[in-house]
Structure 1
Amino acid sequence: MTIGEGDVRSKHAAYGRPVLRKLRTLLASASSAMPIVLAASSAAHAQDALGKINTPFGVEVGTFEVVQFAMFLGAMGAALLSAGWLIRERSRIANENRQLRDKVADLNVTVQRNEAMLNLKDQRIIVWEGASSTPNLVGTLPPEIGVPEARALFLAFGRWLQIDSATLLDRSISALREKARPFDIAIETSKGAPLEVQGRTSGGYAIVRFINLGEARAAQALLKTENYQLSEAVGTLRGLLEAVDMPAWHRDGDGRLTWVNMAYAKAVDVRDARTAVSDARELFGSQARERIERDKAANRRFHDQLSTVVGGDRHVFRVTDVAGSAGSAGLAADISEIELIREEFKRTVLNHSDTLDQLNSAVAMFDANRKLQFFNQAFAKLWGLETAFLESSPDNAMLLDRFRSDGILPEQPDWRRWKDQVLAAYHSVESQEHVWYLTDGRTLRVIVNPQPKGGVTWVFENLTEKLELQSRYNTLIKVQGQTLDHLAEGVAVFGSDGKIRLSNPAFASLWSLKREQIAEGLHISAIRRLCEPVSDAAHWETFVTTVTGFDDERQSLSGHIELSTGKILFYATAPLPNGQTMLTFVDVTDSVQVERALKEKNEALERTDELKNDFVQHVSYELRSPLTNIIGFTELLQTPMTGPLNDRQRDYLDHIGTSSSVLLTIVNDILDLATVDAGIMELDISDVSVTDAVTTASEKVAERLKEHNILLDIRIEPGTGSFRADASRVKQVLSNLLSNAANYAPEGSTVTLACRREQAEMVFSVHDSGPGMPDYVLDSIFKRFQPYPNGGRKRGAGLGLSIVKGFVELHGGTVDISSAAGMGTQVTCRFPLEARTFSIAAE
């Protein structure tokens, strides 16, 4: 390639074209100024008609001459300026032309030298200009090394290079052209000749140079190729180790860390791998490292499980560390989850074994070699086998032969064929089911289930009890059916869909229905239409709602329904399992009529009792006033104011006063009982002194006790104090008890009145040594108007103990009586320490 003078001239001409364009612009400006000058000239002529212009030299010059002179001066000045500018530009252009000629000469020398260098025999260059796909080729390579001379064949690298070299070259050229990434590689031709390839970029050019190597350089290239391949392999392996989530490391001959991956850095809790290496952060403890070094010293490798703490938790790693001549490399796989899963699997197997041991069904598992691997206790119990024998892993066929020899399995027409048919499950993929009838009468359901990894699982279910229960169930169903058919109670069972499931003849008879009208599957609405004409429609509406409703909580209903035929039926609904409902009907016409009669009689008795109470209360009130008058006039007659009385009159008045007092006491007792029965008696609660109450009561009966020479023994335990009650009623209770005891106590005997405090109760007891009472009398001793002549000195109205019981219970207490023939009688009254009014009527 050369550069001639024509090229310089063309360049100079190209450079001078802008100068000519500038000149043309100036001339055009001057021509455009001419009309203005002419216009000025015409104006001057017009002024000349008016006068002349005087010059300083005394010469008169006209305006036209002045204009012409000015134009001349302007043209001369423009010409001089243009000439000066053209001279300067020409001088500059001449200097530039000299410089360009010198540069062209230098470039010619350089081009010739480069062509000489590029046309060397032992190298060839490919040049791509920009993104152009067609390159230029310069130079040649010896054809004896397997490099084609033709352009198209040379660019087809895969035809004359080895496969790996062609792949490497294509990848390197693509990186050079697309990413401007330079390269220096060594490749081999298909004949095994090495070539050095260099790739560079310069400006917009991509240049690849192929250089033939000599023997020394060829060996160096081969080493370079091997080094490159080893570097690529090491880089790939390190990239792989960086990608896996397993700590990996490399140590030098002295055992120091030289490289670790990011998984190792994370495991030792550092920011990056470089920090882990610089800080010599160890993954395992000193004892574990010493163990690794011992094994590597003995066997050049270590492979075992080690544990360490990572992230605050203990992890188990499977460590592999291999020693080499220049150091060692190791890899640790975290198997903590695998160990957990293995332990969980063991626990699951044990749990399943324990669960299977609890089953009543016999289970046995055989492996692919038909050896027993597992059995539960039910299996050993079912066949009566020893545990030691089963733990020896007997063969499945041998077990079947033993069952036959022990007489458990029945004889088969062709035993071998039957056994082969049963053991065919080892070659099957589907479960099999058999029924075995043992010689001892047991029936077994046998399920043979093939396992995914070979072997089978045998499940033996004893159906003997199930079949017996099924037979009993069928018998029970028949018995229940016969029982329902002979019940006098009408029964109908409906399903959740409202259709009848079963009914007995009594149901049809009670509702005057035919048997075919209540056939199974008939809906309750159809039965309702048949029964509503003789019954209340509201009841059947309730029955339909109960049977077909969707209530979350199903309730039982019961009641009476009266038919237009005069029958009275007692009905009841009962929810049954599976959404079923049972309706029962019982003919209670006779019992209802009897009940009604009894109610009427009871109401009559209650009215009679009310009349009796009204009569007693009315008579008692009416008797009290005359008795009060009699007592008052008797006491008045006994006073000296009415005059002297003889002895007989005085005796009569004493008898009248005594009898009137007794009658008034009876009337008062009757009134008190009537008040208690009416529930209107109110207690006057206050603090009651036990000593005062006992003293007052004893004074009231002192004359009667003295009259019959009876001693009163009062026993008040220390600390009794007082309690809250109605003082007058307590005294009346004690008086009645002492009076009753004085009436039955023998002459010269002793009556005991004891008082004590027991927890929250005040207890009074009166005991006499009288004849006592038999058991049949004790049952009615508290009934009113029932005195018993069992040794008493006088017969009363029979109200004393009734009043005692009424007053004590009104306080919230209780009364107990204990007596036996010849043992006396003891009455015990218990008052609460804090009494309150109870509206309880005394019996």
Structure 2
Amino acid sequence: MELTPSAMALLGLMLAAWTFGAVWLVVGSLQRARAARHARNTVRRLSRMIDDAPAIPLLVRADGKIEGPDRLAKWIGLDTLPGFLSELGGGLVDEELKDLREAVRRTQKTAAPFSMVVTPKGSTKSLAVRGQLADPVIATGGAAMVWWFDFSESQGELARLREETARARNDFAALVGLIEAAPMPMWFRGPEMDLRLVNSAYVTAVGAKDAASVVDKQIELVEPVDGLSAAQIAGQAHSRDLPVERIVQATVGNQRRTLRVSDLPLGEEGVAGYAIDIEEMEEQTRAFRAFRAAQRSMLDQLSIGVAQFDPDRRLAFSNQPFQRIFALPGSARVDPPDFDRFLDLARDAGRLPETRDFPSWRAELAAWFTQDAPVEDAWTLPDSTHLRIVAQPLPDGGLVLVAEDRSEQLALSATRDTLLRTRTATFDSLFESLAVFAPDGRMQLWNRRFPAIWNLPEEFFDEHPHVDELLDRIADRLARPGQRTAIAEVVRAATLDRQQRGGRVVLSDGRTLEFAGVPLPDGNGLLTVLDVTDSTKAEEALRERNQALEEADAVKTRFLANMSYEFRTPLTSIGGFAELLQTGVAGELSDQGKEYVGAIIASVERLSQQIESVLDLTQSEAGLLPIATEELELLSFATQVVRAREDAIEAKNITLDLRGDKSAGSVQADRRQLSRAVGNLLDNAIAATPEGGRILVALGRRKSGARIVISDNGEGMRPSELARALDGYRLSGSDGKDGKRGLGLPLARQLIEAHGGRLEIQSEKGGGTTATVKLP
């Protein structure tokens, strides 16, 4: 069959179309294959990107079924991702899961997004969850797309930032409150140096109504100084970016106070300032300076040397005793030396101990500055001066050096030791037994005689026994053991009551001991014990003799009373009968009889005077002479005594010179007895004065009393003769014959002494006799 050309053409077209279609199919398939490969690569790349992304998507469908990568399971602590949202309870806390389900349900219904933070169980991760309604392309039917973010680091940082922010906010609030409550004025200036902020103390200091008025009126606390205002000085601190501090005077309230003002630049923000009231500090500083001056003045008055070195180890102060002890030159005040130089100066002056290695010793002393406690040392200087050195380190690094001259103290200590040894030797050599008891009753000291007098061993006293122990040991040695209480009371009175008491005990061996307690100035008590056995026996003998003497004195008194009657009665009778005979009662007498009667009357009168003198002398010696005092004017009294002896004076042609006037005054005396005493002295002077001799009677008065002087120019007496005359013995005359017994002088002396006076007689053989009567 032959094909026509049209058929051939049609067949060619069909073949061409089929070829074109085949080619087109091949090209299309190739393109689709490339698109499929590209899509697969894109999906793989997107899957890898999702796997490496910081957020993991989770698709939650309306029925609660979930779709997501397994990496999310690892985040919430599960092995594999479950099929439903409610099955995430194995990795999330029940409450957080409940909140998540509620949020997903609300998003599915309302398409409202949500965000929350969950923490897997047993993990410290913080997962941020953000949910929204899923795009219909991803899922239809109201599915929700939940994105999970691991922001543990960000959450920690955010928590730290929140905490720091809260702390900063609290600190700022506290700082603002602190500034507001600060007792000192504080303020803040802006970049233009105008006041922006002030606290309450500033408002009170300037006397404003409130802080706003201070800022509005720009009320400055500090007045301009040297033409510069407070704002200008703050501007200088701001421009230099350096704090400025100054001390100025300002009016705070209604008082002028001293303030320390500080301006602190705060960069571009402005300048802060505050003012501290240092008025009290200034007052304390002035008081401290005055105290330091007074203290140093007081230290100059001490006998102990005191010096202070500053932290640079330079001598800051030294009192005069310190300078004198170490012989510091006067230049030390103008140019104070350091510690090493001070030691060199003292060494040159010979006021340091001799040492072999002086540099090493000086370095040891320099270590005093760094000690933790005071250091005490003793120095012996070349001139035998002993110094007690005390080095007190100061907290600021300085040093106080105290030097005390203890030479005199050591000498006194040596003297005290010598005195103690002397006391011990004296105690041991005393005849008495001594013991010293402390206030607690314990024995402190005793001598060797104390154990011996009680027959106790010396070892018993080595332990310083108590007084009760001592009394227990000696109780069996007492004749009456109850007398131990008396000894205890004496010791207690001497130690505690500070009273002196004594007593006497008798021992069982017959000895008698006398004891006494004496309080000592140191608070102790001294017990003295003396064996008075012999003296007791002698005392008893003397007591017996005294009793006998008292009886004899009573007999003598009775004898004197009887003799006064027995002597005077016969003499009175004889004198009376003689006077009767003389008057012619018994008849007219012859001349010779009258002469005998006159002799009898004269003898009776003379014998009466002698008996009177003997009785007065005896009564005066016995203290029985009655004295009736009255006021006597000396001049008239002496004149009467002289007048009574005028005949005897004229009989021997004696010149009597009576010297005195009314300036002699008067005395209190018994006229009769004093007349007899002065008359006896005058009678002795008349008897001792030869014919034609001279007697002087002088009256006078001195501060001690009145004086009567009777002087003659007779032959006088030797001292032995004067002593015998004062005792009333018989005297020998110049011719070798025995003289009369002189009772006048002893009687005169007794009568004068009975008046409280004194008789002094001075006599010289061939030079006369002078008797001086001194009356009060």
Among 695, 709, 712, the alignment partner of 1:765 is 709
Which residue is equivalent to 2:601? 657
Match of 1:745 among 689, 693, 698: 689
Q: Where does residue 383 of structure 1 map in the other structure?
A: 326
Q: 1:751 to 1:452 in 2, by over 3 A?
A: same
* Aligned counterpart for 1:239 among listed residues 204, 213, 218: 204
Q: How does 1:520-559 map to 2 (within 5 A)?
A: 520-535=463-478, 536-548=480-492, 553-559=497-503
Report deviation, 1:378: 2.9
Q: CA separation of 1:380/1:777 partners in 2, compared to 1, >3 Å: closer, same or farther?
A: farther
2:517 paired residue number: 573
Alpha carbons of structure 1 residues 353 and 616: separation in structure 2 relative to 1, 3 Å: same
1:500 paired to 2:433: no
Which stretches in structure 2 are left out of the alignment for 5+ residues?
1-164, 178-189, 234-245, 262-274
Q: How far 1:333 moved relative to its partner? A: 7.3
Give the CA deviation at 1:371: 0.7
Q: Secondary structure at the match of 1:592?
A: helix
Residue aligned with 2:692, SS: coil
Look up the equivalent residue of 1:592 and give its one-letter code: T
Q: Provide, for residues 358-381 of structure 1, a one-character-per-residue CA deviation record: whole Å limited to 9, x for no partner.
A: 444332211111111122333333
Deviation at 1:575, TM superposition (A): 2.7
Which residue, 444, 450, 455 being the options, matches 2:393? 450
Shift of 1:334: 9.3
**Structure 1 Cα separation of the partners of residues 660 and 420 of structure 2:** 73
- Cα shift readout 1:537-588 (whole Å, capped 9, x = no counterpart): 4543133234456976412233433322122223232334554323222223
Which TM-score applies when normalising by structure 2? Answer: 0.60
Moved more, 622-631 or 492-501: 492-501
CA distance in 1 between counterparts of 2:602 and 2:772 reads 30
Residues in 2 aligned to 1:772 and 1:243: alpha-carbon distance in whole angstroms: 121
Do the aligned partners of residues 665 and 471 (structure 1) sit closer, same or farther apart at CA in structure 2, a change above 3 Å counting? closer
Residue 666 in 1 paired to residue 631 in 2? no
Structure 1 letter corresponding to 2:449? A
Q: 1:697 and 2:641 equivalent?
A: yes
Q: Could you tell me how far apart the structure 2 residues matched to 1:475 and 1:418 are?
A: 36
- Contact 2:731-2:741 at 8 Å conserved across structures: no
* Structure 1 residues 3-42: aligned runs within 5 Å: none
Structure 1 residue 426, shift from structure 2 partner = 2.0
Q: Which residue in 2 is equivalent to 1:353?
A: 296
- Classify 1:333/1:565 alpha carbon distance in 2 versus 1 (closer, same or farther; 3 Å): same
Structure 2 CA distance for partners of 1:825 and 1:332, relative to 1, 3 Å: farther
What TM-score do you get using the length of structure 1 for normalisation?
0.56
Distance 2:520 2:745 in 1: 55
Tell me the distance in 1 between the aligned counterparts of 2:733 and 2:646: 23
- The CA deviation string for residues 596-645 of structure 1, in whole angstroms up to 9 with x for no partner, is 43444444445444434543442232111111222223333334554555
Distance in 2 separating the partners of 1:372 and 1:708: 103
Distance 1:333 1:685, change over 3 A: same
| Runs of 5+ consecutive residues of structure 1 not aligned to the other structure | 1-158, 172-224, 253-257, 262-291, 322-330, 833-843
Match of 2:676 among 723, 729, 732: 732
Q: What is the aligned partner in structure 1 of residue 55 from structure 2?
A: none
Q: Deviation per CA, 1:678-710, whole angstroms, max 9, x where unpaired?
A: 656555555656666445433432332233222
SS at match of 1:519: helix
Q: Which amino acid aligns with 1:380?
A: Q
Q: Compared with structure 1, are the counterparts of its residues 780 and 684 closer, same or farther at alpha carbon in structure 2 (3 Å cutoff)?
A: same
* 1:743 shift after superposition: 1.4
Residues of 1 paired with 2:631 and 2:593: CA distance? 45
Q: Letter of the aligned partner of 2:519 in structure 1?
A: P
Is 2:249–2:258's contact at 8 Å kept on the other side of the alignment?
Answer: yes
Alpha-carbon distance in 2 for matches of 1:620, 1:676: 14
Q: Deviations over 1:21-63 (max 9, x none)?
A: xxxxxxxxxxxxxxxxxxxxxxxxxxxxxxxxxxxxxxxxxxx
Residue by residue over 1:429-466, the C-alpha shift from the partner in whole angstroms, topping out at 9 and shown as x without a partner, is 32223344545555543321111222101123345555
Displacement of 1:769: 1.8
**CA shift at 1:505, angstroms?**
3.3
Q: Which amino acid aligns with 1:517?
A: F
Q: Give 1:232-381 correspondences, 5 Å limit.
A: 233=198, 237-242=202-207, 296=227, 318=258, 335=279, 341-342=284-285, 344-381=287-324
Per-residue deviation, 1:752: 2.9
Distance 1:716 1:319, change over 3 A: same
Tell me the secondary structure at the aligned position of residue 348 of structure 1: helix
Q: 1:618 to 1:347 in 2, by over 3 A?
A: farther
Can you list the C-alpha shifts for 1:482-536, whole angstroms capped at 9, x where unaligned? 5544554322233333223343332221111222333323222122122122224
| 1:804 is the counterpart of 2:753 | no
Q: How many residues align?
A: 559
**Aligned counterpart, 2:404:** 461
Aligned residues with identical type, % of pairs: 30
CA distance in 2, matches of 1:493, 1:243: 83
Which residue pairs with 1:589 in the alignment? 533
8 Å contact 1:763–1:828 — kept in the other structure? yes
**Cα distance change of structure 1 residues 422 and 670 upon mapping to structure 2, 3 Å threshold:** same
Q: Is the 8 A contact 2:307 2:319 kept in 1?
A: yes
User: 2:459 — aligned with what?
Assistant: 516
Distance 1:756 1:595 in 2: 49
Deviations 1:192-227 (A, max 9, x none): xxxxxxxxxxxxxxxxxxxxxxxxxxxxxxxxx999
Are the counterparts in 2 of residues 496 and 578 from structure 1 also a CA contact under 8 Å? no
For 1:376, the aligned partner's letter is N
Residue 569 of structure 2: which of 600, 611, 625 is its match?
625
Q: Distance in 1 between matches of 2:347 and 2:191?
A: 75
Within the alignment, does 1:561 sit opposite 2:526 as a pair?
Answer: no
Amino acid of the structure 2 residue aligned with 1:365: Q
Summarize the Cα distance change of 1:548–1:680 in structure 2 as closer, same or farther, 3 Å threshold.
closer
Secondary structure of the equivalent of 1:545? Answer: helix
C-alpha offsets along residues 250-294 of structure 1, whole Å, 9 cap, x if unaligned? 9x9xxxxx9999xxxxxxxxxxxxxxxxxxxxxxxxxxxxxx999
Tell me the distance in 2 between the aligned counterparts of 1:361 and 1:235: 55
Tell me the C-alpha RMSD between the 2 structures. 4.9
Instruction: Note the alpha carbon deviations across 1:343-367, whole angstroms, 9 max, x for none.
Output: 5534433443343334443322111
In structure 2, how many angstroms separate the alpha carbons of the residues matched to 1:775 and 1:305?
104
**2:569 equivalent to 1:611:** no
Query: Shift of the alpha carbon at 1:394?
Result: 0.8
Deviation at 1:780, TM superposition (A): 7.1
Residues 49-198 of structure 1 mapped to structure 2, 5 A cutoff:
none
Aligned pair 1:491/2:427, yes or no? no
Amino acid aligned to 2:203: R
1:232-258, Cα deviation, whole Å (9 max, x unpaired): 6497732344499xxxx99x9xxxxx9
